[in-house]
Structures are given as C-alpha cells and as structure tokens.
C-alpha cells in the first residue's frame, strides 16, 4: 500500500504558475499510489498568488477517476458575491473508504500572530492487510501555542479512536446514521506539521499514550535509523525558506511497525514549495 503526502501550496509552483493538472501528473509519475493526502487545497480564492479562484478540489478529483475524493474544509468564508471560499486538506483513495471523520483542531487565542483554522481529516480505508485510519493534517505555522494545542487535538482523536476499537461492540446494523462501523486502532498520520524535529510539538507527537500500543512512531526514523530526515521545504524555494529542513512527517501507530516497507522524499519536484513524501506499507 502506497500513501503519497504533499502540501501543494494551492498548486503554486516555483515558477509562479498555479497548475492542478501538474500536481496530479507529478504525483502519478512519482508513484502508483493508493492514497493521496494533500494540504493547502483552495477553492474560490482569486487573491492567492497565481490563482484565478479555480475549484482545486474538483479539478484534482476529476483527474483521478476511480478515487474517492474527500474534502477536509478548514477555512470556509463568504465571498463578496455570497459564494463560499474554502481552503484545507484533501484525501483521495482508490481503496474502499468506510468512514470519514473531520476534526476541527483547537485554535486558542494568540493575538500577536496571523493564523487560520486547521483540520484533521481522517478516512478509514480497507487496506490490503485490514482497516487503516489515514489521518491527514496541517498544523499552524505562526503560533507555537496553537500548534501545540493542535497536536493535543490530533492525539486526542487518535486516543479516542483507539479506545473505540478496543471497547465498542457493533450493536446497530441498520441503514440509518446510527449504524455501527467497525473501528481500528491502526493509523498513519501524515501532513505538514509546521515544526522541525527539535520542536516541542514534534516530541509531543511521539509521547506515550495510556494505551502503549497506540503510540505514534516516526516512520522515517523506523525505516532510516541514524539518518537525518530528508528536507521537505526550502529545497528549491529559497524566498520563503532560507534553508532546507523537514516539517512534513509520516507517523504510524506502533502496531504498524512490521508493515513499514519504505519512505522517501522526492527532491526534484518544483510544483510546490514542499516536496512530496511517499510511505509504503505491506
């Protein structure tokens, strides 16, 4: 199973051109992925550099027929004409998607810095080895206080889902909204965490849970012991990023350690200010 994760910066490439088609084409050239997790997908935001206000959620989905496209709207505001402007995450999956959960992450007041709403988008997919929760997120950049609160929000959702998997019984098989869905503690968490490995937010993501089996592990560290993380920003864009570093990670629940096969960062793409990250499980 291959999961490709990418902050696409509203499809804005290093050349200043916004091109959703290029994003999909490069993703497909990189891997025959089963799941594509994207951050910074925009719709109806013509003020963004290079954008005409195109619905990138729809354009990307159109280019991946056969994939279930799930929108994770973090920002939803009114445009002057009354239409909606949306921005957030997107998960596209060619495996069956059992259930989707959207978790609005905490945003404590921090009046000193700019910030925007953030979301955790979770899809329960039928992987070749069983059910898997694919968690896709994008944490706050400017506010450390908000970012750390959002880490707690992500951890809280993971702990909650793990407890449901341990304790819930299927008691309602109706076709209504109370129909019980099978739960799983197995999870992969990917996205742009807007922190470095030296940041307290990164350390907190790896902290133990009451249920030891629920703990997250850094997939890169597991697969490349002793090797520094490959940079995911600042590789080509030196205007926004003065130096290359890593802020896009893939974490896996501890039970998935035997299934981790490979992880790589594509350093060649110039279609965004971030580099695509590929995780393989088996």
What digits encode the pLDDT tens for the residues 154-208?
Answer: 999 999 999 999 888 777 888 899 888 889 999 999 999 999 999 999 999 999 9
Tokens at residue 275, please? Answer: 């580099």
Tokens at residue 146, please? Answer: 């908000």
Cβ partners under 8 Å of residue 15, min gap 6: 270
Tokens at residue 223, please? Answer: 């697969």
User: In Å, how far are 102, 113, 150, 202, 261 from 107, measured between CA atoms?
Assistant: 15, 12, 7, 18, 35
pLDDT band of residue 212 (cuts 50, 70, 90) is: confident
Task: Kindly tell me the burial class for residue 24, based on how many C-beta atoms sit within 10 Å of its own C-beta (0-12, 13-18, 19 or more).
Answer: buried
Helix (H, G, I), strand (E, B) or coil at 120: strand
- What confidence tens digit (pLDDT) does each residue in 217-242 have? 999 999 999 999 999 999 999 899 99
Give a yes or no: residue 40 inside a domain.
yes
Alpha-carbon distance of 83 to 38, in angstroms, equals 23
- What confidence tens digit (pLDDT) does each residue in 91-120 have? 999 999 999 999 999 999 999 999 999 999
Whether the CB-CB separation of 265 and 274 falls below 8 Å is answered with: no
Nearest residue to 3 via CA among 273, 270, 251: 251
- What confidence tens digit (pLDDT) does each residue in 250-263 have? 999 999 999 999 99
Give a yes or no: residue 64 inside a domain.
yes
Give a yes or no: residue 241 inside a domain.
yes
CATH number at residue 264: 3.60.10.10
Tokens at residue 57, please? Answer: 């959620």
Cβ partners under 8 Å of residue 62, min gap 6: none
Q: What pLDDT shows up at residue 75?
A: 98
Tokens at residue 138, please? Answer: 């994008």
Mean pLDDT of 9-16: 98
Whether the CB-CB separation of 90 and 41 falls below 8 Å is answered with: yes
Strand partners, 69: 92
What is the CB neighbour count within 10 angstroms for residue 125? Answer: 24
User: In Å, how far are 123, 213, 228 from 97, measured between CA atoms?
Assistant: 7, 24, 34
Q: What pLDDT shows up at residue 227?
A: 98
User: What mean pLDDT is reported for the chain?
Assistant: 96
Number of helical (H) and strand (E) elements in the chain, helices listed first: 5, 12
Range of the domain at 86: 2-169+180-281
Alpha-carbon distance of 75 to 137, in angstroms, equals 13
Strand partners, 121: 102, 136
Structurally, the chain folds into a number of domains equal to 1
Give a yes or no: residue 217 inside a domain.
yes
Helix (H, G, I), strand (E, B) or coil at 122: strand
Give a yes or no: residue 175 inside a domain.
no
Alpha-carbon distance of 256 to 280, in angstroms, equals 11
């Amino acid at each position: 199973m291959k999961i490709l994760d990418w902050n696409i910066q509203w499809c804005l490439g290093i050349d200043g051109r916004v091109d959703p088609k290029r994003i999909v084409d490069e993703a497909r050239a990189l891997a025959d992925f089963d799941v594509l997790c994207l951050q910074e997908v925009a719709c109806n935001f013509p003020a963004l550099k290079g954008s005409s206000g195109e619905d990138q959620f729809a354009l990307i989905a159109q280019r991946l027929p056969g994939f279930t496209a799930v929108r994770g709207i973090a920002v939803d505001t009114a445009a002057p004409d009354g239409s909606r402007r949306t921005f957030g995450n997107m998960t596209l999956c060619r495996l069956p998607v059992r259930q989707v959960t959207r978790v609005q992450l905490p945003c404590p007041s921090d009046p000193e810095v700019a910030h925007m709403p953030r979301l955790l988008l979770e899809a329960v997919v039928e992987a070749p080895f069983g059910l898997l929760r694919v968690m896709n997120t994008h944490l706050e950049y400017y506010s450390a206080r908000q970012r750390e609160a959002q880490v707690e929000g992500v951890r809280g959702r993971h702990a909650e889902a793990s407890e449901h998997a341990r304790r819930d019984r299927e008691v309602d098989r109706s076709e209504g909204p109370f129909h019980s869905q099978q739960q799983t503690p197995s999870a992969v968490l990917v996205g742009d965490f807007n922190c470095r490995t030296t940041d307290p937010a990164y350390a907190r993501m790896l902290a133990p849970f009451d249920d030891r089996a629920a703990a997250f592990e850094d997939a890169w560290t597991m697969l490349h012991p002793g090797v520094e993380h490959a940079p995911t920003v600042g590789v080509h864009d030196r205007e926004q990023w003065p130096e290359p570093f890593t802020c896009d990670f893939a974490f896996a629940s501890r039970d998935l350690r035997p299934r981790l096969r490979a992880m790589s960062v594509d350093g060649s793409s110039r279609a965004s200010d971030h580099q695509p990250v590929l995780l393989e499980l088996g």
